[in-house]
Amino acid sequence: MKRLGVVAIFAVMMGLLYWRSPSEQPEPVVTEAAEIPAQPPSQFHEGSEAVTNSDTPRSAIRLSSTTKDLLLSCVKGSETFSGIHSPADFQTLDEFFTRAQRSHGGEKPTVELAFQNLHALTSNEEEIRLHVAALSGGETPSRMVPQFFKADEDGLPVPVDLPQDYETLTAEEALVRFHQQFPKLILDEKSETWRWPSGASANLKLRNGQLEEIQLFLETKSSLACGVAQERQIDCQCLE
Amino acid sequence: MVALFLIVALALSGSVTNVARADVWETSSNWNARAESAYQAWVTTKWQKNFFKKPGFYQNIAMDCADTVYAMRLVYAAENGLPFAMKDPTGGGGIISNEMTRWDHLPPDLRKREFLKFVYKIASTSSLPNDSYPVAVNRAAIGAGRFLLTDKASHHSWTIKSLSEHGVPFLLFASRPARIGLFERFEYPTVPFVFPNGIKPETHAGFRAFRHPRDLGKAVWQVPGYSLEQYTIPHKNWASQMQKRLALKSEGADQKLMRILANACQGAVERIDAVKRGDEINRSLGGACMTSIQFDDHSTPSRDSRLKGSFIELRDSYRRYLRNGKRISPRVRAQVEAVLAGDEGVDQDDFCPVQIERRTTLTLGQVYVRSLNDMMSADPHDSIAQRWGLQRFPSSKANSCRHFR
C-alpha cells in the first residue's frame, strides 16, 4: 500500500459538493427510484451548539498544488476522471468531480442512502432523534425502517417507541414527516454510496451538508480517501 | 489549610460520585494481540448456537443477525474486563461503551444484560461498517471472532465461529424475527446474496473485524489491518477462490458434497418453522393483510434464495467432480443422486425428511426440484402447500395484499 499523506486547508471545499452558491451548483446527483428521494433543505436551529456550519464560507477554496498532484496521480488511468489531465483543469475538489461528470457527457452517479440521522428540538426544547437504517436480517431487500430516540444527559440515545403516526410510513416518508413535525433541526447526518456508470464509486459521510469523509473507489483498483482531520483541514491518501 | 480542606473534600466527593456512577463493567485490560487471540479461542469453543439458551445472565435474550455479531464481541469483553465500544449509530458522534452509567442502579451482572439489550435496540447491519473494517485474505485475518457482512440490499450478517483446515467458515447467526437460538452453516454464502451489487468495497460487504475502541474515531482506511484485498477476488468462483486461499489442505469430493448436502438439509428444515410461523400469523389475520414488518419477518425471499444457492452448489459441484473423474464414494454418490433426481429420487436412509405439516413430509429431492424451479412461494399470505410448491401460487389473498419490496 502506497501512502501519500497530504494535509491541506480545504475542509469546507469538500462540503461544496453539497453546499454551493446557486451559480456554482452543478447538476444534482441522480437518486434511484427505489432509494430515499432528495430531502427538503434542512432548517438548522441557530441556537444549538450542535450546528457546525456557522461561519464557514461556502465559496470554493482552492486546492494546494500538492493536493492536486496527489489527486491526479491517484486517478491516473480511471475512465471516470479521464477528462482531467493537468492541475489547471480543476481548482477545487468540487470542480474535480464536476469536471469528471462533464467529461462523460453528463453521466451522473446514482446515490444510495446507507443511513440517516435527524436530530431536532421539540417544542419543549427536548432533543428527539430519527434514525433510518436497514432492518437487520429482514427478508425484504433494501428495506429501511425508522426508529425514534431521545438523548440522555451525555447525549447518548434512549430508545423510544415509534410514534403511532409513523408506524405505517416508509423510511423516506418518515424523514419528510420528521422535517415537517420538528422544524428545529440540530443535526442532519447521513452516509451515502455513489456509483458512477463508468464503474467508479464512493462512500460519503455528511454532517449538516458538509462532507466529513469520502472514499473514492476507482476502476483502476486504487482508491482515494479523504477525511476531515480537524476543522478546515483534510487528510487525503491514495491507496493501491 | 482551607485550601487543603477543599482539596480533600473535592477528592472525597469525586470518589463518592465514582461509586454512585458505576460502569456497566470495569475495564481492567485492553485489546491487544494476546486479548484477540484469547477472544478467538473463546469464540471457537464457547460461542455456540444455544449460547443464549444456557442458564446465566444472557439467557433468553432474543436477537437478530447484527445483534448476534455485536453480542459475540460484547459478551467476551464483559466477561474478561475488556472495553466494548461502538459509535453511536443514532448520530452525534458519541461512543456507546461499557463506561456508560445508565444502569448503575442495577447489580453488575444485570447491568451487562441490560447493556446488551440496549445495544440490540440501536445496532443494525447499517452500524456494523462504522465499528469494523474489511480484512485481508489470510487465516490470521479471517477466522473465529470475525464476521461476514452482506451488501445493504441483503442486510444480513454472520459471525464466524471457526475456519476449517479446508478453508470453510463455520457461521453462527440469527435472523428475523428475532429469536433466542442461533442458526449454523458450514459454507460460504452465495455471491448473489452477499454481493448483489458485485464484489465491491463501497458496499462494505465481505469479511470484517471489529475495530479496537481506540480506532473508532479514525477513518476506516486508517485502521490497522484495513485491506481491500478481498475485493480483488473475481465474482466467478468467489467461494472456491476464498476457500483455496484460506485452506491448509484441500477438501475431498466426499467431504465437500456431504457438507453441501448438510447445509441444504439444514436450510430446508429451518424453513419449516419459518413457514409455519408465517402461516399462523396469516391465519390469525383472517382476510386482513400483513403489515410491512410482519411481511418482512415472515416472507422468505432471502432464505429461499440461499437455499436455492446451496442446491445449485450441490448440483454444480457433483457434475464437476464427475466431469473431472474425481472419486466419489458409492454412499455419497447415492445420496447426492437421490436429491438431484427430484421427485423421482428415493431418500437414502431417511437422510433428510422435511416434514412441512403433520401428514406431509417431503424428501430433500422434492424440495430441491421445487426450489430450483422457483415453485415455492416466499409470500406469507400463501398457504403452507403453496409455500412448499405443492400447489400453484399466488393465492387470491397474496395477490391482493401489498408486497413490500
pLDDT at residue A106 in the model: 65
Q: Beta strand A233-239 with A6-8: parallel, antiparallel or unpaired?
A: antiparallel
Among A50, A140, A202, select the one facing B295 at the smallest CB separation: A140
How far is B405 from B402, CA to CA, in rounded Å? Answer: 9
CB contact, 8 Å: A7 with chain B? no
The percent of residues in chain B predicted with pLDDT above 90, rounded, is 78
Lowest-pLDDT range of A60-74, B17-31, B52-66: A60-74
Say if residue B327's pLDDT is above 80: yes
Amino acid making up residue B348:
Q
| Domain residue ranges of chain A, discontinuous segments joined by + | 1-240
Does a cis peptide bond (omega within 30 degrees of 0) precede residue B394?
A: yes
Name the residue in chain B with its Cα closest to that of A195.
B202
User: Between A97 and A41, whose confidence is greater?
Assistant: A97
Contact A66, A8 (CB under 8 A): yes
The pLDDT, as a whole number, for residue B404 is: 62
Which A positions 205-234 lie with beta carbon below 8 A of chain B? 213, 215, 217, 221, 223, 225, 227
CA angle A128, A213, A159 (to 5 degrees): 20
Q: Average pLDDT of chain B?
A: 91
Task: Evaluate if residue B17 carries a pLDDT over 70.
Answer: no
pLDDT reported for residue A230 = 55
> Is A123 in contact with A111 (CB distance < 8 Å)?
no
In chain B, the percentage of residues whose pLDDT exceeds 70 is: 94
Under an 8 A CB cutoff, do A141 and B301 touch? yes
**In angstroms, what separates the C-alpha of A177 from chain B's closest C-alpha?**
18
Give pLDDT, residue A89: 84
What CA–CA distance (Å, rounded) separates A99 from B162? Answer: 48
Q: What is the pLDDT of residue A137?
A: 63
Q: Residue A34: its pLDDT value, please?
A: 29
* pLDDT tens string B110-131: 999 999 999 999 999 999 999 9
Alpha helices in A40-84 (DSSP H): 65-74
pLDDT digits (tens, 9 = 90+) for B39-53: 999 999 999 999 999
pLDDT at A33 > cutoff 60? no
DSSP for residue B179:
B
Q: Flag whether pLDDT at B382 surpasses 60.
A: yes
Task: Give percent of chain A above pLDDT 70.
Answer: 63
Residue-range domain boundaries for chain B = 20-237, 253-400
List CB contacts of B385: < 8 A, sequence separation 6 or more. B360, B391
Q: How are the residues of chain A apportioned to helix, strand and coil, as percentages rounded to the nearest 5?
A: 20, 35, 50
pLDDT at B273 over 60: yes
The mean pLDDT value for B314-334 works out to 96
Cβ <8 Å between A137 and B156: yes
Mean pLDDT lowest for which of A17-21, A127-131, A221-225? A17-21
Nearest to B208 by CA among B191, B190, B220, B192: B220
| Residues of A in Cβ contact (< 8 Å) with B174 | 137
Q: Please count the other Cβ atoms lying within 10 Å of the Cβ belonging to residue B343.
A: 11
In total, chain B counts a number of residues equal to 405
- Distance separating alpha carbons of residues B19 and B11, to the nearest angstrom: 13
A170 or B208: which leads in pLDDT: B208
Question: Are the beta carbons of A159 and B122 separated by less than 8 Å?
Answer: yes
CA closest to B153 among chain A residues: A142
Q: Which three cell numbers stand for residue B30?
A: 485492553
Contacts of A140 in chain B (CB under 8 A): 292, 295-296, 299, 301, 404-405
ipTM score assigned to the predicted complex: 0.83
Most confident of A9-23, A194-208, B134-148: B134-148
pLDDT for B160-182, tens place per residue? Answer: 999 999 999 999 998 877 777 89
* Separation in Å, CA A178 to CA A95, A121, A130, A166, B363: 33, 11, 7, 9, 51
Which residues touch B405 (CB under 8 Å, ≥6 apart)?
A140, A141, B301
User: Cis (ω within 30 of 0) for the bond into B177?
Assistant: yes
In this prediction, residue A75 carries a pLDDT of 84
Chain A positions touching B126 (Cβ under 8 A) are 114-115, 133-134, 191
A224 near A75, Cβ under 8 Å? Answer: yes
Q: Which of B118, B157, B200 sits opposite A201 (nearest CB)?
A: B200
* Cβ contacts of A235 on chain B, cutoff 8 Å: 219
Partner residue opposite B154 with nearest CB, options A141, A187, A203 = A141
The stretch B195-216 carries a mean pLDDT of: 95
Q: How far apart are CA B116 and CA B226, in angstroms?
A: 27
Give the contacts of A26 (CB within 8 A, at least 6 positions apart). A20, A94, A97, A98, A101
Measured between beta carbons, the chain B residues lying within 8 angstroms of A170 are 292
Among B126, B174, B232, select the one facing A134 at the smallest CB separation: B126
Residues of chain B neighbouring A189 (CB-CB closer than 8 A): 91-92
Between B207 and A71, the more confident residue is: B207
- Rounded to 10 degrees, what is the CA torsion of A132, A134, A138, A142? 120
Q: What is the average pLDDT score of chain A?
A: 70
Mean pLDDT, rounded, for A181-193: 94
Residue A141 has pLDDT above 70, yes or no: no
Residue A88, pLDDT above cutoff 80? yes
In tens, the pLDDT along B131-151 reads 999 999 999 999 999 999 999
Residue B116 falls in which region: left (phi positive, over 0), alpha (psi -120 to 50) or beta: alpha
Whether residues B155 and A136 touch (CB distance < 8 A) is answered with yes
C-alpha cell at B350: 431417511
Whether residue A232 has pLDDT greater than 60: no
C-beta atoms of A139 and B157 within 8 A: no
What would the pLDDT profile of B281-290 be if each residue is shown by its tens digit? 999 999 999 9
Q: Which three cell numbers, joined as nine digits, stand for A208?
A: 449538516
Quick count: other Cβ atoms within 10 Å of Cβ B36?
15
Sign of the CA dihedral A186, A191, A195, A196?
Answer: positive
Nearest CB to B126: which of A133, A202, A213? A133
Separation CA A14–CA A232 (nearest Å): 10
Residue A120 confidence (pLDDT): 97
CA B73 – CA B159 distance, rounded (Å): 10
Render pLDDT for B67-122 as a digit per residue (tens, 0 to 9). 999 999 999 999 999 999 999 999 978 999 999 999 999 999 999 999 999 999 99
Q: Residue B208: CA atoms inside 13 Å, Cβ hemisphere, count?
A: 31
Q: How confident is the model at residue B389 (pLDDT cuts 50, 70, 90)?
A: very high
* A157 contacts on B by Cβ (under 8 Å): 88, 90, 94, 96, 122
| CA-based nearest residue to B257, from B331, B192, B191 | B331
Grid coordinates given for A7: 494535509
Asked whether the beta carbons of B78 and B98 are under 8 A apart, the reply is yes
